[in-house]
Copies of this chain bind each other. A is one copy, B any other.
């Protein structure tokens, strides 16, 4: 498996991290998580979701009817959680490197190389 995680896919995984959510809920959570900058369209959402399910990172978690409207829930699989953790670590490292490159005035670095 080991699919390549795009940022959208990553955000969807992240939205499912704390609790199962239905499609529309994922869209809202991603919007919040990204500080409002990433607004998932329907096409993006279901495409990403299908790929995540195919990769074994997410799975359907049941359907509930609330106020006459169907809610189809998705949850993270253990593999999905692993992928999310790994990708988060990668992101954290990258952000740290970038901060060092931008903030640091390129000091000679005698000890670390």
B17 touches A93 (CB 8 A): no
Query: A33 on the interface (CB 8 Å rule)?
Result: yes
Would A95 and B88 be within 8 Å (CB), given that A7-B7, A18-B106, A106-B18 are in contact? yes
Interface flags, A88-109, vs B, CB<8A=1, else 0: 1011111101110110001000
Interface flags, A11-35, vs B, CB<8A=1, else 0: 0001001100000000000000111
Please, how many residues of chain A have a CB less than 8 angstroms from a CB on the other chain?
23
Would A91 and B91 be within 8 Å (CB), given that A14-B98, A17-B102, A101-B18 are in contact? yes
The CA-CA distance from A7 to B7 in the complex, in Å, is 8
> CB within 8 A of A91: which of B17, B84, B94, B101?
B94
The CA-CA distance from A72 to B6 in the complex, in Å, is 30
A101 touches B35 (CB 8 A): no
